[in-house]
Structure 1
Amino acid sequence: MRALVVEDEERLALTLRRGLELEGFVVQLAATGTDGLWWALEDDFDVIVLDLMLPGLSGYEVLRRLRAHDVATPVLMLTAKDGDYDQVDALDLGADDYLTKPFSFVVLIARLRALLRRRAPQRPTILAAGDLTLDPSRRSAHRGDTELVLTPREFALLEYFLQNKGIVLTKTDLLRNVWDAHYDGPGNVVEVYVGYLRKKIDAPFGQASIQTVRGAGYRLLDPDAGPATGSGVPEHA
């Protein structure tokens, strides 16, 4: 899941990014309304957390322009203002929810997940490939009856694989959707985490569900779709 956080208070923005990443989000920060609008128009996000009082363009104006461009991404307004008219104005402009500072991070996460559920009711509650299952709402994953103990990054990686089962995903796809569009860490991080994931979801069960497609990337096999085509060769990263 990809989240855009438009917040000019640096400490709060960094705190939100750390917390959201621990919940499995890939987070892009913007410190001005102008930058936030640019990111929201130029990239795809699952949800936007938008402060009301911003330099450049106000949160109201960012929201108005987004809706004018038919950007339907759910927006949660985040502000120090708590007047009823402020809330009404934000909702009338197309905001999906409204949270007043100071706020509980637990409540923020709950509201973001509620927005995501409302946005994509067509998605199955439980993601599955054979006996490998993942419940995004409960943050749990299983192989058959065995619960899998995954780190937040491993969980996010498995979730993205299951959302795209049977499809070859490049390293760029995985970095963009599980890490960050501008990730500049070790170049082998995808291989490392695919290796971690294989050791938890495959090796103990005699399975080989994550396939390496040489020169292309990785694919999570879908047992219900029949044999995969192409030149994928399973190997450990």
Structure 2
Amino acid sequence: MRILVADDEPEMTMVLEALLKREHYSVDVVYNGQDALDYGLAENYDCIVLDIMMPKLDGIQALQALRSKNISTPVLLLTAKSQVEDRVAGLDSGADDYLPKPFDNREFVARVRALTRRGGEYTPKVLSAGNVTLDCSTFELKCGSACVRLGNREFQMLELLMRQEGRLISTEQFMEHIWGYDSEAEINVVWAYISYLRRKLEAVGANVCIAARRGQGYLLEETT
């Protein structure tokens, strides 16, 4: 999952980025409201974390602009301002949650996690496809008694394929969702990780494979 963090305090963004990456999110960071708006309009995020007090545009202005463009991404507002009127203004502008500074790191992560489940949809911790399961807590790919632990990028790619089982996912979508907007990674990194995953699926005896559709992308499908 991809998170956009917008805060003009470099020390704060470093902490938030580290917390989120530890939870295996892909994170983009910007330092003013205008960039938050531009990134939010250009990219597909699972959650946006906005500080209210930022240059160029404040968090509420950026949020209002995003909502006016029908961007429905869940938004968590962060601010040192904790007055009731500020909370009301943020929520009335379209924020999904509000967290005043200073806050406990565990609460921040929990609120982001809750927002990425927006809409009350149940998000299982163990995904299944064919005869394999993927444990989202341990990154373990299992088939019967066979088990292999995936690396972070491998896990994110297979998770996306399993959640979208039977649907095509383009190379560009993998790049945007996993490596992020500003990644310097070359597009052939996707092909490399697809190869790694195919070998691991084969190693555990999976009856599903990652199939390629030339010029379209990849999908997970059962083998015959």
Unmatched tracts of structure 1, length 5 or more: 228-237
Alignment partner, residue 143 of structure 2: 144
TM-score by length of 2: 0.83
1: CA distance, partners of 2:194 / 2:19: 23
CA contact (8 A) 1:154 1:197 kept: yes
After TM superposition, give the deviation of residue 55 of structure 1 in Å: 0.2
Q: Distance in 1 between matches of 2:19 and 2:189?
A: 21
The whole-number CA distance in structure 2 between the counterparts of 1:67 and 1:139 is 36
| Offset, 1:190 | 1.7
Q: List gaps (5 residues or longer) in structure 2.
A: none
2:220 maps to what in 1?
220
**For structure 1, which segment, 117-126 or 41-50, has the greater mean C-alpha deviation from structure 2 after superposition?**
117-126
Q: Taking structure 1 as reference, are residues 139 and 70 closer, same or farther at Cα in structure 2, changes over 3 Å only? A: farther
Query: 1:41, 1:208 → 2: CA distance?
Result: 35
Counterpart Cα distance in 2 of 1:36 and 1:124: 30
Per-residue CA deviations over 1:6-28 (Å, capped at 9, x if unaligned) read 11112322332343234232222
Paired residue for 1:36?
36
Distance 1:33 1:156 in 2: 29
Per the alignment, residue 203 of structure 2 pairs with 203
Task: Map 1:79-118 to 2 at 5 A.
Answer: 79-118=79-118
Deviates more, 1:74-83 or 1:124-133: 124-133
Q: Percent identity?
A: 38
Is 1:71 the equivalent of 2:75? no
How far apart, in 2, do the equivalents of 1:13 and 1:72 lie? 23
1 CA distance for matches of 2:163 and 2:79?
Answer: 33
Letter in 2 for 1:205: G
In structure 2, distance between residues paired with 1:144 and 1:180: 31
Q: Does the residue aligned with 1:112 lie in a helix, a strand or coil?
A: helix
Looking at structure 1, the residues matched to 165 and 104 of structure 2 have their Cα atoms a distance apart, in angstroms, of: 35
Deviation at 1:172, TM superposition (A): 1.8
- CA-based RMSD of the aligned residues comes to 2.7
Q: Which moved more, 1:32-41 or 1:164-173?
A: 164-173
Residue 119 of structure 1 aligns to which amino acid in structure 2?
G
Q: Residue deviations 1:36-57, cap 9 Å, x none?
A: 1122223322111000100011
How many Å apart are 1:121 and its aligned residue? 1.4
Give the letter aligned to residue 195 of structure 2.
G
Counterpart contact for 1:23–1:152, Cα < 8 Å: no
Q: Check whether the contact 2:171–2:187 (CA below 8 A) recurs between aligned residues.
A: no
Q: Name the SS of the counterpart of 1:209 in structure 2.
A: strand
Corresponding residue pairs, total: 223
